Chains A and B, each alone.
Chain A
Amino acid sequence: GAVVSQHPSWVICKSGTSVKIECRSLDFQATTMFWYRQFPKQSLMLMATSNEGSKATYEQGVEKDKFLINHASLTLSTLTVTSAHPEDSSFYICSAPTGPGSYNEQFFGPGTRLTVL
């Protein structure tokens, strides 16, 4: 299957700082990527859809000014958690379909564990 990587795999930061998480498609181009958040023992909740060359679309209840998404190239999307607080501590996971008609074959990154102190 296709490979999606994330960096960093884990990060600890102080409250009030900003954290950037990268999502890369290693062996395919992704015009669309999805960002999810997963709290302990809970399922994945979609946060936003990242579109190459255009603005991201956010799910209801997700603050777009707090979770900045930039899809700068066909292989890279970044999620920046601005002014992070302890309640933002979570497991952040991205996914990407392998092509415009391949949403049924979305591949996930390994996730980034964010801990805000």
Chain B
Amino acid sequence: QKEVEQDPGPLSVPEGAIVSLNCTYSNSAFQYFMWYRQYSRKGPELLMYTYSSGNKEDGRFTAQVDKSSKYISLFIRDSQPSDSATYLCAILLLGGTSYGKLTFGQGTILTVHP
């Protein structure tokens, strides 16, 4: 079982739609939950992170964590064509030999068409 599972999609939605991206994880010791956006042939860009169960909003983006079910989500409201990219969930462990290391999901390819 992979430590972080993410549906690779691809996901195609019309402009203005609400997008839901999801990941599950297996290690309950994970402490930070991150979302990155990666455009083709570019490095990942940090969108937001959270460390507790619940919701965190930043503009059109909402990150949601449910530690009891080991499930994290990213919601994008009013999606735009410029949101078309690969979205990566990543989980951070702060402890032991894995200190500071990010474990990534496979990434979901999102296309928002006009």
Contact = CB atoms under 8 A, between A and B. Distances in A.
Report the interface size class on chain A: 20 to 34
Given A43-B107, A44-B88, A103-B94, A109 B43 contact: yes
B43 A1 contact: no
A34 B102 contact: yes
Given A43-B106, A103-B94, A108 B43 contact: yes
A43 B105 contact: yes
Interface in B71-114: 88, 92, 94, 99-107
A73 to B, nearest CB: 19
Interface string A24-68: 000000001010000001111110010000000000000000000
A63 to B, nearest CB: 19
A93 interface: yes
Contacts, number: 59
Interface in B20-37: 32, 34, 36
A111 B102 contact: no
Interface stretch (B11-19, B44-52, B57-65): B44-52
Given A97-B100, A103-B92, A103-B94, A42 B106 contact: yes
Contacts of A44: 44, 88, 102, 104
Interface of B: 6, 8, 32, 34, 36, 41-46, 49, 51, 88, 92, 94, 99-107
Given A32-B100, A106-B102, 13 more contacts: A4-B43, A34-B102, A43-B6, A44-B44, A93-B43, A93-B44, A104-B51, A104-B92, A105-B49, A106-B46, A107-B46, A109-B43, A110-B43
